Amino acid sequence: MKIGVIGGGAVGAAVTSALVHRGFAGEIVLVDADDKRAEGVTLDLGAAVPLCPPVVLRSGGMADLTAADVVVITAGVNERGEGATDRTDPDGRLRLLERNAEIYRSLIPSLQMAAPDATVLVVTDPPDPLAELTRALLGHGRVVSSGTIIDSLRFRVRLAQAFGVAARDVQATVVGEHGVSEVLLWSSATIAGTPVEHGGQQIGLDLPRLREEVEQAVRYANIDIIAGIGASQYGIGAATAALTQCVARDERRVLPVAAHSERWATTLSLPSVLGARGVVRTCEPSMTAEEHDALARSAETLREAAATVLPTFPPGGQGHRPHALR
């Protein structure tokens, strides 16, 4: 199993490290515009290879991604570098879109030539409109955004802390945008099968206050992390490695990731069956009217953002049109 990682910055390095330790890949190739950075990351991580399951770890160029089964893209500028760390800014991560779309337009053609059959996992912020762009540029639907996987994990962890239970016994999902407009589905959140509202009442939690605190903590976790260490990297690195394994092994787990939705006419997160060729199908969960309306607003935000970067083709022109993807 061959995995490619494009981007050797904080997130790319964390993803590569997590992939090495998971042990399912036979070969991992790290590509970065700065060759020395990619070489340094693989040299550093390479010292740990004797302690891990066997793997060939190396740096390389885009041509070295030939025959990759999965390619993870983390390349791009981050929130700190582009000033996207203002909690009052309604755009949030979307401020990074124009700059990172330029980067994607430059690298996707080379990726298409090197690994036309790979399933592509987009992690760069903002991942949802960038996945929509990648899908259009590649001309196929084997494109997945990491979406709200990390937001959902943060939601679970915060609820676990509030209830004093193990996070694995909490089920809670975030849908829509990986960003400011994301929707935390409180109506379906459970603790070992018990609805959060019912369980909270049993132990005397102030539920309105809990909801406000958790919403803020999850929605703006990246800002808190960046303030401390400069980049949100370890959580998304571990989550991305888990998603990559799911694709590589065709595990078909149901996870909150993003793919293009015909119903919503954009890429957004819903509970999705994830396999070797990307998202097999999505499962729209039961929602309250309030949650559904919030999801509709999130979808509109993403449609408007994607429209600013999607390619346009003149009548009779060359290129792949989004509606004709295979």
When pLDDT is averaged across residues 246-268 and rounded to a whole number, the result is: 97
Specify whether 323 is catalytic: no
- Determine the Cα–Cα distance for residues 80 and 4; give it in Å rounded to an integer: 26
Per-residue confidence (pLDDT) for residue 326, from 0 to 100: 28
Per-residue confidence (pLDDT) for residue 325, from 0 to 100: 35
- Average pLDDT over the chain reads 93
When pLDDT is averaged across residues 149-167 and rounded to a whole number, the result is: 98
When pLDDT is averaged across residues 78-89 and rounded to a whole number, the result is: 72
Catalytic residue among 140, 178, 320, 323: 178
- Determine the Cα–Cα distance for residues 244 and 25; give it in Å rounded to an integer: 10
When pLDDT is averaged across residues 135-158 and rounded to a whole number, the result is: 97
Is the pLDDT score of 86 beyond 50?
yes
How does residue 319 score in pLDDT terms, banded at 50, 70 and 90?
very low
Per-residue confidence (pLDDT) for residue 87, from 0 to 100: 80
Half-sphere exposure of 128 (CA within 13 A, CB side): 35
How does residue 83 score in pLDDT terms, banded at 50, 70 and 90?
low
Burial class of residue 50, CB neighbours in 10 A (0-12, 13-18, 19+): exposed
Percent of the chain with pLDDT over 90: 89
Is the pLDDT score of 324 beyond 80?
no
